[in-house]
Structure 1
């Protein structure tokens, strides 16, 4: 799906210059602020606002992005996407939805499909992923940014912040959300993809993960609700390889050698936790 303009108006209004914090305007194929800082839009439609590098192994590689596109395109996380969209629809209305760690924009595009008046801003440190996100939906704008740094987003700009398998910056979640804003955090539950542990290192989820999540966000947010999603799916050999390569293990290709020997389908567990938080004043 292609977009009619490089950045939706609501996204442009929410973005701030990462160097001076002032609003930006679109001048041809560049964002410019009154201090004359300028950031070119890539031909794929996203804007890179980073003014410093990120540590190696932080951003998704081309191989990881390709694996994620293939795996998500097969529909294995479609129920999760629909559940995220349903929860977000109750809170966002016609406001701005900021996806912190949006990757290829799969979940944010699903939200925007459900909300015809809303706009989405995809933030991610991987320019390779945002090449895909920028084209995922016509009401989606994408900006490269390191989520651990103060975000180039106006305070109180977002109706909802999504955080799906991504770094969590509680103070910035709180700052960019409007007073009645909602934070939705999605994380794996214990047992997620556990059947693949014999093939390559996969995430071993701490059984106290939700307790630690609540504690980490408690200074700025109160837990409103939580629900889980668990299902069994059968993955083909290539889908097994994609499921492992699209995650953190994808940064360590030396750990993926056993995947070459996978020749049979496997039934695996998908397990997710969806936590809704309300912003504290």
Structure 2
């Protein structure tokens, strides 16, 4: 529900607090932002240069995650999330945010540019709110609001993450390990993990965060052909020529979960 996140939100135009007025959020200076029928708030404050995941990708992700294949990632994040307000930057369907909130008696907020994803994230948990916002722009969140920022397979804005995180907070970043889904990469043409990804993550957070350690988690997934096609369909590989498996496959899912403290 958007109401639980209101104390932490600010007007993207002027930085003033927001209050709910029926189907809109408004600030004292009169800037007004619509609440979608599905429950998320549009705080993008202008035209977005990209629209994020498509409806098809989001539907595939919902199907794949609901089946439990990435529960090991969600559980690892929930275990590492301390009490307090949680922001999921790049929330997708809200799967990881909901698992963290199941552990906590706190409210949470998901940010994304995909309207298709936000329609699901807005109802992923009774204490979750969802907001349309571009992670590359100033975020519509007050300073030092979050105890935890979750960032799962999503872009990282080091300066803004530092601004909205409490001094004693934690940033939890999940990235694919170099050999994540290697069997599908080799056989079906999925996009490879960028070999320079670790350097890009370091560069995006340097000066704002200090690394506190990384743990690698992996699972062997035995997928039907349909499940494998759904997995490919929920990733950018679906738009870059990956072929569809016709037989059952065994796949290794392997991720790095890194914790960072603010400088």
| Contact 1:31/1:38, CA 8 A, preserved across alignment | yes
Quote the Cα distance in structure 2 between the aligned partners of 1:71 and 1:210: 26
TM-score (normalised: structure 1): 0.89
For residue 203 of structure 1, report the CA deviation from its aligned partner. 3.1
Secondary structure of the corresponding residue to residue 255 of structure 1: coil
Q: Does 1:118 align with 2:99?
A: no
Using the TM superposition, give the Cα deviation of residue 48 of structure 1 relative to its aligned residue in structure 2, in angstroms.
1.0
Check conservation: 1:8, 1:119, Cα contact below 8 A.
Answer: no
Tell me the distance in 2 between the aligned counterparts of 1:147 and 1:212: 16
Native 8 Å contact 1:17 1:23 kept in 2: yes
Taking the aligned partners of 2:202 and 2:215, their CA distance within structure 1 comes to 14
CA distance in 2, matches of 1:97, 1:54: 24
Relative distance call for 1:212 and 1:147 in structure 2 (3 A) is closer
Shift, 1:247, TM fit: 1.2
Partner of 1:83: 76
> Quick check: 2:94–2:120 contact (8 Å CA) kept in 1?
yes
> For residue 218 of structure 1, what is the aligned residue in structure 2?
206
Runs of 4+ in 1 over 3 A off after TM superposition: 208-212
Match of 1:7 among 2, 9, 17: 2
| CA RMSD in angstroms, aligned pairs only | 1.4
Q: Cα deviation per residue 1:63-104 (whole Å; 9 max; x = unaligned)?
A: 00011001101110001100100001xx2x1x2100000000
Matched, 1:136 2:121: no
Decide which of 52, 64, 87 is 2:57's aligned counterpart.
64
Q: Is the 8 A contact 2:177 2:193 kept in 1?
A: no
Q: 1:205, 1:234 → 2: CA distance?
A: 25
Q: Please list, as runs of the form range in 1=range in 2, the aligned pairs for 1:256-271 lying within 5 A after superposition.
A: 256=242, 258-259=243-244, 262-271=245-254
Corresponding residue of 1:106: 95
Gaps of 5+ in 2: none
Report the 3-state secondary structure (helix = DSSP H, G, I; strand = E; otherwise coil) of the residue aligned with 2:2: coil
CA distance in 1, matches of 2:219, 2:236: 22
